[in-house]
């Protein structure tokens, strides 16, 4: 049971790679010999964004996977509850990556008419804001999920209350990521008006 749970959780951990591959293929198809310096900086910013945003959720998923698998070892009878909880928690931990993917697509399809120096400032700052939000959210969501998995293993009869508390806590943690996402979008929207 632990092996099955670990395989599913670790498969979900590959999501950042999948989204990064889609962005990389899109970038590759849009490269040309006539790329301006500002366009190159935009591409660099998108790569920087996808790479940094993946760090927090990946570490959060690893923290959660460890605790979830340990919880199954503690109480194998709680496996079905832990399995459902694990898939739900992994999906919550993935949300920073989904938001970064949307932001990367926005940057790639939007035509910015910026100088190279302004391009560097805009794309670096928006990438950093989104990445810092994802880093904190990824760690926090992984920690909350891991602690909740341990509580489910020790008190399976309290599963509904633990699930509810965990989701509510995760929503509060996720707001940091969402606020950072909106700040990054505002930076990009204001830059496009220049």
Name which residue leads in pLDDT, 4 or 169: 169
Estimate to the nearest angstrom the gap between the alpha carbon of 50 and the chain centroid. 9
| d(C-alpha 93, C-alpha 55), whole Å | 11
| d(C-alpha 183, C-alpha 34), whole Å | 31
Percent of the chain whose pLDDT exceeds 70: 99
| d(C-alpha 165, C-alpha 38), whole Å | 46
* pLDDT tens digit sequence for 57-71: 889 988 998 999 899
Give the model's pLDDT for residue 148.
96
* pLDDT tens digit sequence for 172-191: 999 999 999 999 999 999 88
Give the model's pLDDT for residue 192.
80
Q: Which residues contact 107 (CB under 8 A, 6 or more apart)?
A: 42, 45, 46, 49, 123, 126, 188
Give the model's pLDDT for residue 30.
78
Mean pLDDT of the chain: 89
* pLDDT band with cut points at 50, 70 and 90 for residue 9: confident
What stretch of H or E contains 117? helix 116-154
2 pLDDT exceeds 90?
no
Name which residue leads in pLDDT, 114 or 179: 179
Give the model's pLDDT for residue 111.
83
Radius of gyration of the chain (CA): 19
Concatenated DSSP letters for 128-142? Answer: HHHHHHHHHHHHHHH
Residue 158 is classified by DSSP as G
| d(C-alpha 135, C-alpha 38), whole Å | 27
Give the model's pLDDT for residue 15.
81
Residue with the two structure tokens 């489910």:
152
* pLDDT band with cut points at 50, 70 and 90 for residue 119: confident
Give the model's pLDDT for residue 1.
76
pLDDT (mean) for 6-16? 78
* pLDDT tens digit sequence for 17-58: 888 889 888 888 877 767 788 888 888 889 889 888 888 888
What's the pTM?
Answer: 0.84
Give the model's pLDDT for residue 161.
95
152 pLDDT exceeds 90?
yes
Q: Which residues contact 143 (CB under 8 A, 6 or more apart)?
A: 60, 63, 64
């Amino acid at each position: 049971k632990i092996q099955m749970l670990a395989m599913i959780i670790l498969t979900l951990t590959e999501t950042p790679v999948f989204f990064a591959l889609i962005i990389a293929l899109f970038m590759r198809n849009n490269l040309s010999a006539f790329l301006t310096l500002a366009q190159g900086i935009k591409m660099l910013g998108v790569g920087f964004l996808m790479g940094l945003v993946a760090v927090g959720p990946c570490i959060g998923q690893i923290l959660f996977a460890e605790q979830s698998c340990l919880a199954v070892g503690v109480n194998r009878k709680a496996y079905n509850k832990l399995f459902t909880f694990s898939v739900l928690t992994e999906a919550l931990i993935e949300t920073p990556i989904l938001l970064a993917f949307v932001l990367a697509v926005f940057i790639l399809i939007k035509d910015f008419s910026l100088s190279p120096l302004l391009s560097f400032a805009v794309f670096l700052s928006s990438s950093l804001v989104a990445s810092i939000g994802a880093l904190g959210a990824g760690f926090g969501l992984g920690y909350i999920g891991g602690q909740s998995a341990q509580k489910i293993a020790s008190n399976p009869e309290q599963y509904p209350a633990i699930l509810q508390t965990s989701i509510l806590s995760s929503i509060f943690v996720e707001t940091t990521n969402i606020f950072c996402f909106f700040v990054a979008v505002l930076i990009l929207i204001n830059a496009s008006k220049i």
